[in-house]
Chain A
Amino acid sequence: MRIEILLFIIILAGTLLPLGSNAILMAEEKHIIPLEQIVSGGPPPDGIPSIDSPKFISANDGDKFLADSDKVVGININGDIRAYPLQILVWHEIVNDNVGGIPVAITYCPLCFTNKVFGRTVNNTILEFGTSGKLYNSNLVMSDRLSKSLWSQALGEGIVGKYAGIKLQRLPFDVAYWKDWKDLYPQSKVLSKDTGSARPYGVDPYGDYYTSPDILFPISNRDNRLGLKEVVIGLEDERLYKAYKLQDIEKLKVINDQFNNNSVALFSLHPIMARVFDSSVNGQTLIFQYSPTNNKFTDKQTGSQWDFEGKSVEGPLKGKHLMRLPFDEGYWFEWVAFHPTTKLYS
């Protein structure tokens, strides 16, 4: 027991030693943001280990450690449906995975509540991401293990190194309560707690941070249009930005809007779960309304019925699909810190 305590103290000291050297970034490296704004979070690179060989279990087995109210990040790529519990992601922040034949990175920054799924293929090269131990605007900075470039999770873009200025492909995903996700996709696989690292899964080290209205760190751009920790869905197109309050989408069930001259529809049928679609089909822009009788959406133009997957299940457009659009999700303070010129849907 004494040896274990001694080891613990040595590891503790070892983790704190690199603090001084961590902030040193090579000024000659290509970068798109001021280097002094990238700060050390404390741990060394990969001190918070990503999950690189994820194992999965069935939804039934997932029930053994997940409560109905646990949140998961869910993805569905080419029919390969997987759920990544936030109670695991909070200790790892990045999962390098292959879903439906596509190399993807599932990322989570608990402080900003930014959940994002990226394609890992850049210029025909498959990258593997890890935590850099650094922060930009209080948000996770990832590093790829091939070129050691730094990537901002919130921007989804390389910020220092070979890939500076390169955008990662964003992929649509859901944040959902476990109960809703397993009801929608009982065939879903679930990330196993057998991650290769011993972590106290099931307890959130951030405590009451999510429910307290305050933040304890400075932010570069404060915007009082919404509360700091209001969860927003953010859209980005050609350096134009628009945010939607998640609560508004939940309340209205459907929002029809224009963004950068494109028609978009935002659907929500389950708490904390929203999806964004391009509302044009065959060159025709559709306006949707919610039908409480069958829990579906109806377009005003043809009267066709659409489900939450964006598929027409009834009417003249039966069988047609709306194109799902990727979006950013996170706290308002994070969205405006990175996108100060953002518009806000009201």
Chain B
Amino acid sequence: MVAGSICLITYLFIVIITTPNLPAFTALSAAIKVNGIIIFGLAIAIGAQIYLSYCGKSMECNTVNKRKGFVGISSSTALSSFFSFFSLVPLGCCGSWLLILSLLPSVFGSSLSVILIQYSKALSYIGLFIVIGYTSFSAIELKRKLKIMEIPEAQKKISFM
């Protein structure tokens, strides 16, 4: 819950500081209107992932490789958010995101930048699906491990009897 909220607040904070031409409430409602699925999807998926990790830890059962999982989820969240920000260009003429997009060719080259901008919406959804997929995988893994843990417990009970 806390992790999801932090993710949500960070996203919305970036929206506010990059659209100074709009009152904060207007900027936020516009961002939610344009990218609502990404914003709330990421927040819920991240919240769920952290919750699963916490559950797994408290039950002494590691669901997935922690380091790899953290890197994977963080990168996907960052990329999904980054590409979804491209949709915010129409929030203001000469805006921050237009400037940021115009800097892309110096990092990725012109051709790749054109592709990244053209397919930014699709890329942001792909990022979201990766995060959701990873969280779902963690949930399935946790369930499977809990089941395995339950069997020896049951066997123990039988042997005591």
Question: Which A residues have a C-beta under 8 Å from some C-beta of B?
Answer: 4-5, 7-8, 11-12, 15-16, 19, 22-23, 39-43, 47-48, 91, 93, 109-112, 131, 133-135, 138-140, 197-203, 205-207, 209, 215-218
Contacts and interface: CB of A to CB of B under 8 A. Distances in A.
Interface in B117-138: 117-118, 120-121
A47 B92 contact: no
Contacts of B96: 15-16, 19, 41-43
A114 B116 CA distance: 27
Nearest to B105: A198
Interface in B7-55: 17-23, 26, 30, 33-34
B21 to A, nearest CB: 5
A80 to B, nearest CB: 29
Give the interface centre of A11, A23, A40, A42 by most chain B CB atoms within 10 Å: A42
B20 A200 contact: no
Contact of A42 (B90, B92, B113): B92
B100 interface: yes
A203 B110 CA distance: 10
A77 B43 CA distance: 56
A41 B21 contact: yes
B69 interface: no
B58 interface: no
A200 B105 contact: yes
B90 A135 contact: no
B22 to A, nearest CB: 6
Interface of B: 17-23, 26, 30, 33-34, 86-87, 89-107, 110, 113-114, 117-118, 120-121
A18 B104 CA distance: 20
B93 A199 contact: no
A43 B99 contact: yes
B90 A207 contact: yes
A9 to B, nearest CB: 10
Given A23-B20, A42-B20, A112-B93, A48 B98 contact: yes
A135 B94 contact: yes
Contacts of A12: 100, 103
Contacts of A109: 93
A48 B94 contact: yes
A138 B93 contact: yes
Contact of A200 (B19, B26, B99, B101): B101
B106 to A, nearest CB: 6
A190 to B, nearest CB: 18
Contacts of A198: 105-106, 110
B42 to A, nearest CB: 20
A47 B94 contact: yes
Nearest to B29: A216
